[in-house]
Structure 1
Amino acid sequence: MSPKVVPARGMRDILPSAHRRRARILDTIRQAYAEHGFTQIETPAVEPIERLKSGQGGDNESMLFEIQKRGLDPEQAVRPGESVDSALRYDLTVPLTRFYASNQAELPAVFRAFQTGPVWRAERPQKGRYRQFVQCDIDVIGEESVLAEMELVTATMDALGRLGLAEGVTLRVNDRRVLTDLLTRAGVPEAEQPKALITVDKLDKIGMDGVRAELLEKVGLAPDSVEALTAELERIGTDSPLDASAPALEGVDLYDLPQIAEAVRAELPDVRIVFDPTLVRGMGYYTGPIFEVAHAGSGSSVAGGGRYDGVVGKWLGKDVPACGFSIGFERIVDLVELEETGERRVALLFPKDASPLETAQAKRALARELDSAVVIPVAMPRKLAGAFFGRLQEDGFTHSVKLGEGPEQLRAL
């Protein structure tokens, strides 16, 4: 018995019916972003290793698919770290900032970019999590004001709305500066704050008791600091209205968050916005407001992003304001219910003994008579059964007709 032929571990094949579905969803997102003024770009899948290990990607930097240098002598010993010069990108943000630094002279002062494509992370595969997956990002580079955040949020919400995902959506917001303030007031040393944030980010998975234990045992914080921090997080809660006058937010500097919420509500009066002090987002490059979109039909966020003013400056040598928002494409695919496109895809069924010329002529005549329909010849099995027509439908066909029969004999699938 031949061994089963499967993709590499953590990878998957996308079959035609699934690919058509994904393409339609992506086209809807692309149209929404284009109407909000975002321009589509493309960046390479590979970046230099030093760029992807710049200390800004959080845990993702430890999950790189590294690429070995060409021309190494196979007989000569070399250290692993010296044998690699590039890697597959783990997200689209770092490549975008490099793109901007490389092409700044040809781009507008405020650049609104849309980018989609596969990214790779060498994490442990599990259900619903793959080592290669698609990201779908919009970013505004060069805008200092909260106009950038407003544009990103409203464009993303519009895209989700066009996909039928507007109901049951909550925009969760926080600010990295708020988090820094909370950690500092609790007496967490600056050097330990990045590790503390990673632990706080796990609250929804391990609970507050788990956060306390990890802050004490793994991060090594003093008990007084742990108690002060967790008590403050519990006091504020994870679902507070974004209102500086609310008792739960007394003494909390919300920075730009109220202004952002006010601007978003002006365009989207029905959107639910809550303040969540435990929202961290794992990337190390965030410098200001951060966001996540929760959906009632998903067990995790379906979109997220924030401001990352310091990344472009690493490549240009000068600070450039930047902010981005990413739809979790793989997470929304199963949530979207697509309507019929109205396009007719007709399977021209021909017996296997039919001549190629006869089939080609029939295809041409049928396509002409049906005008805009797509006609594709499909060989019939000896016995037509419901399973055969079911497979045609899965493959995207809407109708079928047998060779020699005209348009009046079209059968809807």
Structure 2
Amino acid sequence: MASVNPPRGMRDFLPADKARRERVLAVIRERYRAHGFDEIETPVMEDYDRLHAGIGGDNEKLSFSILKRGMDAEGIRAAADDPAALADLGLRYDLTVPLARFYATNRAQLPTVFRAVQMAPVWRAERPQKGRYRQFLQCDIDIIGDATARAEAELMIASLDVLDALGLTGGSIRVNDRRVLDAMLDVFGFAPGERPGVLITIDKLDKVGPSGVVAELRGRGADAGAVDALAAYLDRPSTSPSFDEVGIRAALPDGIPDEVISHLVALGDTVAAARGADAPLVFDPFLVRGMGYYTGTIFELAHPSVDYSLGGGGRYDGMIGRFLGQQVPAVGFSIGFERIVDLLPDTDAEGERSIVLVHDRDVPLARLLAMKAQLVAEGARVRIEQRAKNMKALLERSAADGYTSFASVGTDTAADELEFKPLA
């Protein structure tokens, strides 16, 4: 017999799970809309060449490709060694590449500074494991057309507001800039050709510590003098730099361009103006994200309840220009929907009136449905269930499905005689 399970790395959602996810989505959608972002929708498929144009980073390797229509066995065998000859479409692996294509297609109808929201599934050929799926939901906000720190600040403020609205207060954002990383590696003396590998190692700092990073770099044969300079920098007394010019400069070696520091300072000032003096920004000079992807500011959303990020993003000014032939500034933030859903308590929709009408077998159908229609018209969510021998199981299942109360309907029960009792 064929398996009845969903494909590996993909999931079914029972009614209560689906309702919970939709409640979280509704909060995210409402808060981002309140901050001036407009929701768009793009196709689940894009051209194969676009998905493999070198703008999607490592995600391109995880793309699900779609076989060209009409290929016979001989044609498939002839093209077996060339994926581009086998496929002309693919499932989107993120929402940023489709957004870049969307903007290039529709920019004449969009404002000069465009604020977009996308909330939709994406697909990656991951190796399935706990917390890592082949189909998952992404919630992205992006600002296209604004090269100033205001764009990054708007993304951060809106996303922190989302966490607050979901009850996950106390969130913070780690911030860095790819230009800071490049300048630091230059100051330490790493040659341009070895910097991508050096950044891959530095990205492990949280896991292996300074000594582990230095040991790996030496083992890889990185420039010895540059590794010594980095090691000395990592051995400095640890501090939590304030997110202002003094703190940022104190956390960096000499030689970092002033315009990059000024950009970060302006970002901190803008967020502080909206969030208060204790703006939750943390400068992290060794934050590394999307090595072939981001061009400026990069950031990750953190929460004290977990040791992993709840989202992140950065500036990707070079991507849209690949479609238009001219540079367009762009910055985006992807909130970790799946991780956030797992963190939230399993609560019912606040204030929702949800009722189960448990009726005897001989209650006239017309009267039963009339009762239901009246309750629905009053704003309630209503399910009809015939009385069962095992009433405990019926009521427990109804409670698990998100219903909060029930009423018994007998042969002679009138609508104004219904007695509602809590399910919990």
Q: TM-score, normalised by structure 2?
A: 0.89
Whole-Å separation in 2 of the counterparts to 1:171 and 1:60: 24
Equivalent residue number for residue 122 of structure 1: 125
Please give the alpha-carbon distance, in whole angstroms, between the structure 2 residues aligned to 1:139 and 1:283.
Answer: 19
Residue in 2 that maps onto 1:329: 337
* Bigger mean CA deviation after superposition, 372-381 or 110-119: 372-381
Q: Conserved in 2, the CA contact under 8 Å of 1:237 and 1:276?
A: no
Deviations 1:197-230 (A, max 9, x none): 2222222233333323443445x42232223234
Moved more, 183-192 or 273-282: 183-192
Structure 1 unaligned blocks of 5 or more: none
Aligned partner (choices 91, 94, 97) of residue 91 of structure 1: 94
Which of 372, 379, 391 is equivalent to 1:372?
A: 379
Equivalent residue runs for 1:5-404 within 5 Å: 5-76=4-75, 77=77, 78=79, 79-81=81-83, 82-167=85-170, 169-218=171-220, 220-235=221-236, 239-246=240-247, 247-249=250-252, 251=254, 252-253=256-257, 254-269=261-276, 270-282=278-290, 284-337=292-345, 338=347, 340-351=349-360, 353-354=361-362, 358-368=364-374, 371-385=378-392, 387-404=393-410
Task: Tell me the amino acid that sits aligned with residue 374 of structure 1.
Answer: R
RMSD (Å) for aligned C-alpha atoms: 2.2
Provide closer, same or farther for how the CA distance between residues 275 and 380 of structure 1 changes in structure 2, counting only shifts above 3 A.
same
The residue matched to 1:256 in structure 2 has which SS?
helix
Structure 2 distance, partners of 1:236, 1:310, is 37
Asked whether the equivalents of residues 65 and 89 of structure 2 are also in contact (C-alpha less than 8 Å), the reply is: yes
1:15-39 deviations in whole A, cap 9, x for unaligned? 1111111111111111111111100
* 1:70-127 deviation line (CA, Å, top 9, x unaligned): 1112133222422122221111111111100011111111101011111111122111
How many equivalent pairs are there?
Answer: 406
Cα offset for 1:409?
1.8
| Cα pair 1:367 1:373 within 8 Å, conserved | no
Could you tell me how far apart the structure 2 residues matched to 1:397 and 1:366 are?
Answer: 15
Q: Give percent identity, aligned residues only.
A: 48
User: How far apart are residue 56 of structure 1 and its match?
Assistant: 2.8
Unaligned stretches of 5+ residues in structure 2: none
- In structure 2, distance between residues paired with 1:237 and 1:91: 36
Shift of 1:234: 4.7
User: What is residue 411 of structure 1 aligned with on the other side?
Assistant: 421
> Amino acid of the residue matched to residue 187 of structure 1?
G
Give the deviation of 1:403 after TM superposition: 2.8
Aligned equivalents of 1:359 and 1:132: distance in 2? 42
Query: Which residue identity lines up with residue 323 of structure 2 in the other structure?
Result: W
After TM superposition, the structure 1 stretch with the greater mean CA deviation from structure 2, 38-47 or 65-74, is 65-74
Contact 1:56 1:283 in 2 (8 A): no
| 1:296 shift after superposition | 1.0
Give the Cα–Cα distance (whole angstroms) in 2 for the partners of residues 234 and 48 of structure 1: 48
CA drift at 1:263? 0.7
- Secondary structure at 2:236's aligned position in 1? helix
Secondary structure of the corresponding residue to residue 90 of structure 2: strand
Taking structure 1 as the reference length, the TM-score comes to 0.92
- Aligned in 2, Cα 1:101/1:15: closer, same or farther, shift over 3 Å? same
